Amino acid sequence: MKITLGAVSKPYTSLKMKTGDWGTHWPKVDEELCTGCGTCEMFCPDMCIEVVKVGEENGKEIKKAKVNYDYCKGCGICAEVCPTKAIKMELKDIYKVI
Amino acid sequence: MVRKVVRGFYAVAHAVKLCRPNVICAYPITPQTEIVENLAAMYANGELENCEYITAESEFGAASILVGASATGARTFTATCSQGLILMSEVLWNAAGMRLPIVMVIANRSLSAPLSIWNDHQDSMAMRDACIMQVYVENNQEAHDMIPQAYKIAENRDVMLPFMVCMDGYKLTHAYEPVDLLDQETVDKFLPPYDPPIKLTTKDPLTFGCYAPPHCYMEFRVVMQRAMERAKKVMEDVFEEWAGLTGRNWGGLIATDHMEDAEVAVVAMGSVVGLVRDVVEEMRKEGKKVGLVKIRSFRPFPVEDLRKALKDVERIVVFERAVSFGHEGPVAMELKSALFGHSDAKVYSFAVGLGGRDIPKQLVRKCIEKSEEIEPGFYFEGVKDFEEVIV
Ligand code: SF4
Ligand code: SF4
């Protein structure tokens, strides 16, 4: 392992620094309800939601929100802003008390 | 070199100018303000070449601007104290972790509440654990001399850490003293331009102080501790070089008087050392085996030097200019941890002159003499009779 002076890192090093384990909740997208409007993508402070093409219908693209759980911090903003309430914040299994 | 009667502010500003800083950024706070006012005047008069003087909206802003400037490879300076230093602290911990050799003067002042603008060491002591070097000076000549040395130590590749030159507010900053002012040639010979090992440019983007998950965070802390340990040797070398260059030998990490055969050692930091030295001399003339230990570097803490200097004494009297509330005086705390297992000396810690309370010579003498009769421990001295009430 290399320890750099002043914790200096080159561009893209942060991709290796996964922060998805910080949160206690996951956002789960209900694809039935998601219209692909992109609001969550715009509001996510960690830029870890992307609206991606999942198929085509009558020559029109079908787009849905996809969460990158490697970097999602579980803040819940996406769930809050979604106009169709397509995102539910679920407690991660490791935090569940049985 | 020319001897002039100047105030502490000017002694610092003049030395900073000769170090050819590239970015000076500060926010005014008593009793520091006139340091940066002097520098602002020099800047306005065109005396500071290749330098930018930035007025910030707060101390937090000033420190942040210097972090950015230092990361680009600029030699940087600021001065602050008290609430201003505390406001900077979030940034300064980052500056240390980013290994930026920012040099700052702390015009030591008490902390609120209650509000006080007067002198003690509570402000810099609050930064004790931040991996920032701290040297306390006794007079304005030492403050003047410490500035080029601070840059040389901080910018050494083995160190690369921020540096605080701590000088007592009012007692030094506002005092007129004769100071042998350095000249440009001497400083240029001593202090080469800052050659940063790595720097931020628009062509080569970098992140300073990146995220370190648990699998690598500790290693960054290990290297910071190592840098502090290495700073001890670097300091000694730089201090020695300075003595050779200017003929002014301020000592090493500590400086001692009459410690060869001392039975009682008196330990102090900052401007009170001059007063303590007078008392020690007086007591020596009366045949009392008293010695003086002036701690110059509080961070890194001179563990080895103190063990050596204090190995044979029976009693140690520490003059504290701050309190670690809930425990005792911070100097005695560090001293005792350094001596544990190496000395059986009894340690007496006396907090004096908090919030600018006067420290008369008789009080210093009284504390030293009192230590013969009382239990080792922590005491406030020079306190009036009072009653605790609600309004
Ligand atoms: S929970 Fe927060 S971080 Fe995670 S995807 Fe939603 S907005 Fe982004
Ligand atoms: S805000 Fe809701 S509907 Fe819009 S893309 Fe995101 S999840 Fe889908």
Is any atom of ligand 1 closer than 6 Å to the C-beta of A77?
yes
Q: Which of B160, B198, B216 sits opposite A1 (nearest CB)?
A: B216
* Structural domain for B325, as ranges: 254-388
A14 at interface of B, judged by CB pairs closer than 8 A: yes
Query: A34 with A81: CB under 8 angstroms?
Result: no
DSSP structural state of residue B143: H
Are residues B171 and B263 located together in one domain of the fold?
no
Is any atom of ligand 1 closer than 6 Å to the C-beta of A20?
no
- The pLDDT > 90 percentage for chain B reads 99
Are residues B204 and B342 located together in one domain of the fold?
no
Query: B69 with B22: CB under 8 angstroms?
Result: yes
- Residues 6 or more apart in contact with residue B368 via CB below 8 angstroms: B264, B266, B279, B283, B290, B317
What tens digit of pLDDT does each residue of B377-386 get?
999 999 999 9
A84 at interface of B, judged by CB pairs closer than 8 A: no
Give residue B283's pLDDT: 98
- Whether residues A7 and B206 touch (CB distance < 8 A) is answered with no
Give residue A14's pLDDT band: very low, low, confident or very high (50, 70, 90).
confident
Q: Which of B98, B213, B222 sits opposite A6 (nearest CB)?
A: B98
Q: Token digits for B364?
A: 């210093």
- Protein residue whose Cα sits closest to atom 1 of ligand 2: A82
Give residue B100's pLDDT: 98
Give residue A11's pLDDT band: very low, low, confident or very high (50, 70, 90).
very high
Are residues B114 and B221 located together in one domain of the fold?
yes
Q: Token digits for B127?
A: 């930064």
Instruction: Report the C-alpha gap between B287 and B281 in whole angstroms.
Output: 10
Helix residue ranges per DSSP H, B98-139: 122-125
What tens digit of pLDDT does each residue of B331-364 get?
999 999 999 999 999 999 999 999 999 999 999 9
Query: B27 with B58: CB under 8 angstroms?
Result: yes
Mutate to test the interface with A, among B158, B208, B217 (most CBs of A within 10 A): B208
- Which H or E run includes B379? strand B377-380
What tens digit of pLDDT does each residue of B14-61 get?
999 999 999 999 999 999 999 999 999 999 999 999 999 999 999 999
Mean pLDDT (chain A, rounded): 95
Domain count, chain B: 2
Quick one: B79 exposed, middle or buried, by C-beta within 10 A (0-12, 13-18, 19+)? buried
Are residues B264 and B234 located together in one domain of the fold?
no
Are residues B83 and B207 located together in one domain of the fold?
yes
The CATH fold of domain A17-95: Alpha-Beta Plaits (3.30.70)
- Whether residues B210 and A8 touch (CB distance < 8 A) is answered with yes
Helix residue ranges per DSSP H, chain B: 8-18, 33-44, 59-71, 82-97, 122-125, 140-154, 184-190, 217-246, 272-285, 303-309, 330-339, 361-370
- Protein residue whose Cα sits closest to atom 2 of ligand 2: A82
Q: Which of A5, A9, A19 sits opposite B207 (nearest CB)?
A: A9
Are residues B210 and B301 located together in one domain of the fold?
no
- Cβ < 6 A, ligand 2 pocket: A 29, 34-40, 51, 65, 82, 84, 86-87
Query: B304 with B251: CB under 8 angstroms?
Result: no
- Whether residues A7 and B100 touch (CB distance < 8 A) is answered with no
Is any atom of ligand 1 closer than 6 Å to the C-beta of A46?
yes
Give the residue from chain A lying closest to B97, CA to CA. Answer: A6
Are residues B175 and B229 located together in one domain of the fold?
yes
Instruction: Report the C-alpha gap between B240 and A43 in whole angstroms.
Output: 58
Domain stops at, among B217, B246, B275: B246
SS3 state of residue B86: helix
A15 at interface of B, judged by CB pairs closer than 8 A: no
Give the residue from chain A lying closest to B94, CA to CA. Answer: A6
Query: B303 with B338: CB under 8 angstroms?
Result: yes
Query: Can you give the three-state secondary structure of B263-330, one letter per residue?
Result: CEEEEECCCHHHHHHHHHHHHHHCCCCEEEEEECEEECCCHHHHHHHCCCCCEEEEEECCCCCCCCCH
Place of tokens 């996406």: A78
B63, HSE (Cβ side, Cα atoms, 13 Å): 23
Are residues B44 and B174 located together in one domain of the fold?
yes
- Which H or E run includes B32? none
Domain stops at, among B213, B246, B279: B246
Distance B208 CA to ligand 1 centre (A): 25
**Hey, which residues does B83 pair with through a beta bridge?**
none
> What is the least distance, in Å, from the CA of A85 to any CA of chain B?
33
At B303, which CATH number? 3.40.50.920
Query: B148 with B182: CB under 8 angstroms?
Result: yes
Give residue A98's pLDDT: 81
Give the Cβ contact number of residue B357 at 10 Å.
20
Residue A17 in this model has a pLDDT that exceeds 90: no
Instruction: State the ipTM, two decimals.
Output: 0.90
Mutate to test the pocket of ligand 1, among A22, A28, A43, A44 (most ligand atoms within 8 A of CB): A44
Give residue B1's pLDDT: 80
- Residues 6 or more apart in contact with residue B292 via CB below 8 angstroms: B256, B257, B258, B259, B265, B266, B268, B273, B276, B277, B280
Which residues in chain B come in under a pLDDT of 50?
A: none
End-to-end CA distance of chain A: 39
- Protein residue whose Cα sits closest to atom 6 of ligand 2: A40
Mutate to test the pocket of ligand 1, among A46, A47, A88, A90 (most ligand atoms within 8 A of CB): A46
Give residue B20's pLDDT: 98
Distance A55 CA to ligand 2 centre (A): 16
Q: Which of B98, B208, B211 sits opposite A17 (nearest CB)?
A: B211
End-to-end CA distance of chain B: 56
Domain stops at, among B200, B228, B246: B246
